[in-house]
Amino acid sequence: MKTIIFMHLHRTGGTTFLKLLDNIYNENETFTIDGKHFRESAIEFSLLPLDQRSKYRLVKGHLFWGFHKYCPNQSDYITILRNPIDRAISQFRWHLRPECAYPVSPDLTLSEFLESGKFISADNGMTRLISGKDRNDIDYGKCTDEMLKIAKNNLEHKFLVFGLTEYYDETLILLKKILEWPKFPVYIKKNVHDKKPINQNISKHEHEVLIKYNRYDIELYEYAKKLFEERIKKEASSFHSEVNLFKQLNSMK
């Protein structure tokens, strides 16, 4: 039996995807990483008895590359990436909301949020998780070309499937095909709070700071987008017909 590891990258549509997975995999075969304490939760999993870890068909949540070493079974990673600038702004807006587990002051600006160094996922967060480099490995604001190289290699060669928020339906149908899900993964969007255009009212200075803390994610995303689009183009016409049908089903909810 294989274990599927869903690496939930922050603010990529992952919460919606987590709910979808709950409808596909049995609860007793799923280990969910605690989002508020994801490092401790990963350690908790690693300390479970071998036979207990062996029963999980799915592990899901915020986790770093390298988690597979805790899985006794053969394992495959899946994940979803998002345009890094949109992702960073969405993360900032989420932390402004009082229901966020770690809210920030409503007076905090986007630039101050990024410069604070408080949230490691705000510093090339996708590159960090996919390369497996936490704050203890590489401090905030200190990401490297080597991290990007590792992330690109992992994504292309060590992930069974990855998708993009901007191609959400195509991503889900691709996952359905590869993971042999028995039914359409119909979904209802969860944890969506951005009602206005994501880049609205971003100043020149804020844009510069966004680039500063997302430059590796930007390159990683463009690399992933190219690979994903090439993969989708190779799919048979039946795949695209299924995507269109899936879109219709979701619009009828």
Residues 6+ apart with CB under 8 A from 219: 148
CATH code, domain with 48: 3.40.50.300
Domain, as residue range, for 123: 3-251
User: Which residue reads 């300390």 in tokens?
Assistant: 47
Specify the number of domains making up the chain.
Answer: 1
Q: Please name the residue ranges forming H helices in the chain.
A: 14-22, 38-46, 50-54, 84-96, 110-116, 125-131, 145-157, 168-179, 204-212, 215-233, 237-251
The answer to whether residues 104 and 113 touch, using CB atoms and an 8 Å cutoff, is yes
| Cα–Cα nearest to 163, from 58, 2, 17, 3 | 17
Cα–Cα distance, 181 to 176 (Å, whole number):
5
Q: What is the chain's pLDDT, residue by residue, as a tens digit (253 residues)?
A: 899 999 999 999 988 899 999 999 999 999 999 988 999 999 999 999 999 999 999 999 999 999 999 999 999 999 999 999 999 999 999 999 999 999 999 999 999 999 999 999 999 999 999 999 999 999 999 999 999 999 999 999 999 999 999 999 999 999 999 999 988 787 766 555 555 556 668 999 999 999 999 999 999 999 999 999 999 999 999 999 999 999 888 877 6
DSSP 67-117: GGGG-SS-EEEEEEE--HHHHHHHHHHHHHSTTSSS---TT--HHHHHHH-
The answer to whether residues 52 and 141 touch, using CB atoms and an 8 Å cutoff, is no
Q: What is the pLDDT of residue 233?
A: 95
In degrees and rounded to multiples of 5, residue 225 shows phi and psi of -60, -45
Q: What is the pLDDT of residue 201?
A: 81
The answer to whether residues 164 and 225 touch, using CB atoms and an 8 Å cutoff, is yes
Q: What is the pLDDT of residue 195?
A: 53
Q: What is the pLDDT of residue 33?
A: 97
Residue 17 token pair: 């995807």
Q: What is the pLDDT of residue 156?
A: 98
Residue 210 token pair: 């966004």
End-to-end Cα spacing for the chain: 34
| Cα–Cα nearest to 187, from 167, 162, 168 | 168
Q: What is the pLDDT of residue 250?
A: 80
HSE at residue 100, side-chain half, CA atoms within 13 A, is 18
